[in-house]
C-alpha cells in the first residue's frame, strides 16, 4: 500500500515567446504599481516592458544570497515605497527577491533566464558568516512566474549546460525523496527526459528555439518537483560547499549530481536510466556532462585539497567529486554512443527509409539493454527467425503468421485503414490470401460440395454517401470445416472456398458457401513454439475474408465473424472488431435462389468504402 501527501504550488505561470510584454498586466493583477526590478543587464527587457512601473532597480544580486546584500536591497525597497518585486535572471536574482519577500511579504514576479528552477519552489537559501542555511516557507514562493523563451536564447552554452543539469538534480532528488508521490514521479521523469534530449541540441546550436523551449519547460517541472518534496543529500552538500567555499551554484550541482546518485543508489535509478536512455543512471549523467563540455570535478571549480581536508561528512563521495573520477558503474553498461554510431551510419536517398531504420535501431538497442539480453538468448532469437524463414513458402507464410500473432499486423491495419470512421472496419489480410482467385458468377457455391452448414451470403457495397458501388471486385476466401484453407491441402484439385465476384448495379454480391468455424493457425513451426512458450492458444474465431477494390476507392480488407462463435475475445491474431461480428441465423425452407436445402444459414452485410486511392 503506497501512502503519500501532495500539495500543488500556488504560482501563476505565463509561458511562451515574448511574454515579457505581459509584465504590466501581471503587476496589475497583484494590485501593485511600484516595482523594484531586480537583475543585472539581463533585466533590461523587463525594464522596458515595465516602463514607469519600475520605480527602483537593484542590479547587484549575488550568488548564495548573502544577507548583507539583502539588507542593501531592502534599503532601496523602503526608500522608493515599493509594493511589488520583479526578479529577472537566474538563482541569484530570484533568491534575492525571495529574501526580500520573506522580510516584507511583498508579492513577487519571477522571470527566469536560466534553468535553475528556484522560481518554482518555496525554498530560500541564504548565506551569513560563511554558512549557508535553507528555509522552506510559502512566504517566499513567487505569486507569478513569467517564462519567456526569448530571454534564454542568448544564454551561453556552458551556462545552459550547468543550469540544465542543476534542474535535472531537482528532478532526480525528487524521485528518491521520502515525500515522493505518483504525480511528482511523472513530472520528474518527464523533465529528465526533456533535459537529456535538449541539452545536446542547445550545445550544438544555442539558437535552437525548440530545444530552448524544451529546457525551460523541463526546468519549471523540475523546480515544481523539488518545491513539493523535501530536499536530500545532493542539495545539502551543494549548499554546504557553496556557502563555505564560495563555489558557483549550478556548476557545483553539476559536478555533484552523478556522484550523489551513485552514493545514494535508490531504487528509482532504473527509471532515471530509462528516462536518460542509458543503462546506468549515474555514469549516464557523468558522461552527458562530459560530452557537453561541463565541469566534472570540484577541483576545476576552485576547491583546493586543503578545503577538502576540512570536510569530514561524506568524505569518500566528495573525494571522488573533487577528483572528477567517473562514478563506479552500478547498472548496465552505457551503449548510447554505439547506438548513435549505428544511427549516424545510415544515409541513402529515401528519408523515410532512413528514419524507419534509425528508429528501429534505437528501439532494438533499447530493448536489448532494458532486458539485459544475454548472448545465448539473442542466439535463440536468431535461430527462431532463421527457422521462421526456412519454413516459409508460397503457401505457408510463417513471417506473416508471426506478425499476426504478435498483433503487429493489427496495429499496422489500424494505423493504415481506420482513419475514416464512417467506413466498414478493416481487418488483417492473413497468410492465406492468393492473388487472382477464379472469377465466378453470382449464386456460385464456392464450397463446391465440401461438407459444412450451407450459408447464403448476400452482401452489398456502398460508398460513404450510401450509394451503391457497382462493378467493384470482391475477393472472398475462408477455411473448410476442419479449419484448413485450400493452399494447405496439396491433394486438392484447384481453388476451393475462394473466388472473385463483381458487384452488380445495386452494389450486391450473392453466393453460397459454408458457415465458417474456428480453427487453429498452423502451430507446428516456430510461431506455434512461441505460443506454447507463453501459454497462448492458436485458435482463430470463425470468420470469412473479404477484399473489396475499385479504382477511385480505398481498398477494403476485412473479415466477418460469426456472432456467438468461439474465441471472439481471444482471437490468436487479435483481428476481431465489434463492428465485424454479425449474425449467421439458421434458416429452413426454400433458399433465395430456389435451392432445395433442409437447413441453411444466411449472412447479410453492407460494406461501406470511401473514395480515394
85/179 same-domain check: yes
Q: Provide the grid cell at 364.
A: 532494438
User: Residues in the chain with pLDDT < 50?
Assistant: 1
Any domain includes 577:
yes
The CATH number that applies at residue 448 is: 2.60.130.10
Any domain includes 150:
yes
354/417 same-domain check: no
CB within 8 Å of 90: residues ≥ 6 apart: 112, 113, 114, 116, 118, 163, 250
Q: Centre a 10 Å sphere on the Cβ of residue 371 and count the other Cβ atoms it contains.
A: 9
Q: What's the pLDDT at 183?
A: 87
347/414 same-domain check: no
Under 8 Å between Cβ of 602 and 458: yes
CB within 8 Å of 446: residues ≥ 6 apart: 440, 476, 496, 497, 498, 499, 511, 512, 513
Any domain includes 176:
yes
**Residue where a domain terminates, one of 238, 261, 288:** 238
Q: Centre a 10 Å sphere on the Cβ of residue 415 and count the other Cβ atoms it contains.
A: 9
CB within 8 Å of 431: residues ≥ 6 apart: 396, 397, 398, 400, 401, 404
Q: Centre a 10 Å sphere on the Cβ of residue 90 and count the other Cβ atoms it contains.
A: 27
226/346 same-domain check: no
Any domain includes 300:
no
Any domain includes 35:
yes
Any domain includes 252:
no
- The residue whose grid cell reads 458487384 is 503
34/172 same-domain check: yes
Q: How far is CA 555 from CA 103, 432, 461, 552, in A?
A: 73, 18, 12, 9
423/486 same-domain check: yes
Beta strand ranges found along 286-359 (DSSP E): none
The Cα 353–Cα 356 span in angstroms is: 5
Residue 204, burial from CB neighbour count under 10 angstroms (0-12, 13-18, 19+): exposed
Q: What's the pLDDT at 131?
A: 85
Number of domains the chain is built from: 3
Q: Centre a 10 Å sphere on the Cβ of residue 508 and count the other Cβ atoms it contains.
A: 18
Any domain includes 528:
yes
Q: Centre a 10 Å sphere on the Cβ of residue 53 and count the other Cβ atoms it contains.
A: 18
The CATH number that applies at residue 129 is: 3.40.50.1970
225/143 same-domain check: yes
440/364 same-domain check: no
Q: Max alpha carbon distance in the chain (Å)?
A: 107
357/423 same-domain check: no
Q: What's the pLDDT at 1?
A: 46
| Cα-to-chain-centroid distance, residue 423 | 30
Any domain includes 1:
no
**Residue where a domain terminates, one of 238, 256, 271:** 238
416/354 same-domain check: no
103/37 same-domain check: yes
- What's the order of all strands across the beta sheet hosting 35-38? 12-16, 144-148, 108-112, 84-89, 35-38, 54-58
**Residue where a domain terminates, one of 238, 270, 300:** 238
426/562 same-domain check: yes
Domain housing 357? 336-370
- Which DSSP string corresponds to 496-564? -SEEEEE--TTSEEEEEEE----EEPP-SSHHHHHHHHTT---EEPPEEEEEEE-TTB--EEEEEEETT
Residue 165, burial from CB neighbour count under 10 angstroms (0-12, 13-18, 19+): buried
Under 8 Å between Cβ of 101 and 108: yes
Under 8 Å between Cβ of 430 and 573: yes
Under 8 Å between Cβ of 38 and 84: no
Amino acid at each position: 500500500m503506497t501512502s503519500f501527501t501532495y500539495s500543488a504550488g500556488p504560482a501563476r505561470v505565463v509561458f511562451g515567446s515574448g511574454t515579457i510584454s505581459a509584465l504590466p498586466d501581471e503587476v496589475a493583477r497583484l494590485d501593485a504599481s511600484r516595482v523594484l526590478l531586480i537583475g543585472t543587464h539581463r533585466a533590461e527587457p523587463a525594464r522596458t516592458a515595465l516602463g514607469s512601473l519600475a520605480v527602483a532597480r537593484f542590479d547587484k544580486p549575488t550568488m548564495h544570497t548573502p544577507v548583507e546584500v539583502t539588507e542593501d536591497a531592502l534599503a532601496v525597497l523602503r526608500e522608493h515605497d515599493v509594493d511589488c518585486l520583479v526578479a529577472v535572471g537566474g538563482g541569484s536574482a530570484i533568491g534575492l527577491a525571495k529574501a526580500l519577500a520573506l522580510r516584507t511579504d511583498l508579492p513577487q514576479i519571477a522571470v527566469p533566464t536560466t534553468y535553475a528552477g528556484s522560481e518554482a519552489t518555496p525554498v530560500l537559501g541564504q548565506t551569513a558568516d560563511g554558512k549557508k542555511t535553507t528555509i522552506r516557507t510559502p512566504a517566499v514562493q513567487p505569486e507569478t512566474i513569467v517564462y519567456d523563451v526569448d530571454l534564454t536564447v542568448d544564454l551561453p552554452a556552458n551556462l545552459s549546460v550547468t543550469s540544465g543539469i542543476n534542474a535535472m538534480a531537482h528532478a532526480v532528488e525528487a524521485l528518491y525523496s521520502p515525500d515522493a508521490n505518483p504525480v511528482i514521479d511523472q513530472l520528474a521523469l518527464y523533465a529528465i527526459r526533456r533535459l537529456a534530449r535538449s541539452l545536446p541540441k542547445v550545445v550544438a546550436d544555442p539558437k535552437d528555439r525548440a530545444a530552448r523551449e524544451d529546457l525551460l519547460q523541463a526546468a519549471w517541472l523540475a523546480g515544481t518537483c523539488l518545491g513539493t518534496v523535501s530536499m536530500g543529500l545532493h542539495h545539502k552538500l551543494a549548499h554546504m560547499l557553496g556557502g563555505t567555499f564560495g563555489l558557483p551554484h549550478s556548476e557545483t550541482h553539476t559536478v555533484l549530481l552523478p556522484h550523489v546518485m551513485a552514493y545514494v543508489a535508490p531504487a528509482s535509478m532504473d527509471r532515471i536510466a530509462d528516462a536518460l536512455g542509458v543503462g546506468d543512471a549515474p555514469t549516464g549523467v557523468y558522461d552527458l556532462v562530459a560530452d557537453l563540455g561541463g565541469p566534472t570535478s570540484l577541483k576545476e571549480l576552485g576547491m583546493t585539497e586543503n578545503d577538502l581536508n576540512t570536510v569530514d561528512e561524506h568524505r569518500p563521495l566528495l573525494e571522488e567529486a573533487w577528483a572528477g573520477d567517473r562514478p563506479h558503474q552500478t547498472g548496465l553498461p552505457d551503449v548510447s554512443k554505439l547506438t548513435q554510431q549505428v544511427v549516424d551510419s545510415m544515409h541513402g536517398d529515401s528519408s523515410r527509409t532512413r528514419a524507419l531504420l534509425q528508429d528501429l535501431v534505437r528501439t532494438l538497442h533499447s530493448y536489448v539493454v532494458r532486458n539485459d539480453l544475454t548472448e545465448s538468448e539473442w542466439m535463440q532469437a536468431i535461430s527462431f527467425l532463421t527457422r521462421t524463414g526456412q519454413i516459409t513458402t508460397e503457401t505457408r507464410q510463417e513471417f506473416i503468421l508471426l506478425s499476426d500473432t504478435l498483433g503487429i499486423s493489427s496495429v499496422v491495419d489500424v494505423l493504415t485503414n481506420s482513419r475514416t470512421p464512417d467506413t466498414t472496419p478493416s481487418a488483417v489480410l492473413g497468410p492465406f490470401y492468393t492473388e487472382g482467385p477464379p472469377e465466378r458468377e453470382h449464386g456460385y457455391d464456392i464450397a463446391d460440395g465440401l461438407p459444412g452448414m450451407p450459408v447464403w451470403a448476400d452482401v452489398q457495397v456502398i460508398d460513404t454517401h450510401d450509394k451503391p458501388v457497382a462493378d467493384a471486385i470482391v475477393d472472398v476466401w475462408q477455411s473448410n470445416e476442419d479449419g484448413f484453407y485450400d493452399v494447405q491441402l496439396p491433394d486438392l484439385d484447384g481453388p476451393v472456398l475462394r473466388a472473385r465476384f463483381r458487384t452488380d448495379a445495386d452494389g450486391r454480391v450473392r453466393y453460397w458457401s459454408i458457415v465458417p468455424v474456428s480453427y487453429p493457425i498452423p502451430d507446428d513451426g516456430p510461431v506455434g513454439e512461441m505460443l506454447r512458450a507463453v501459454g497462448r492458444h492458436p485458435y482463430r474465431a470463425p470468420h470469412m475474408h473479404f477484399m473489396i477494390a475499385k479504382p477511385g476507392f480505398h481498398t477494403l480488407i476485412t473479415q466477418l465473424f460469426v456472432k456467438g462463435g468461439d474465441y471472439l475475445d481471444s482471437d490468436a491474431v487479435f483481428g476481431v472488431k465489434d463492428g465485424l461480428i454479425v449474425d449467421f441465423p439458421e434458416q429452413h425452407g426454400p433458399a433465395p435462389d430456389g435451392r432445395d436445402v433442409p437447413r441453411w444459414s444466411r449472412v447479410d452485410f453492407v460494406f461501406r468504402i470511401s473514395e480515394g486511392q
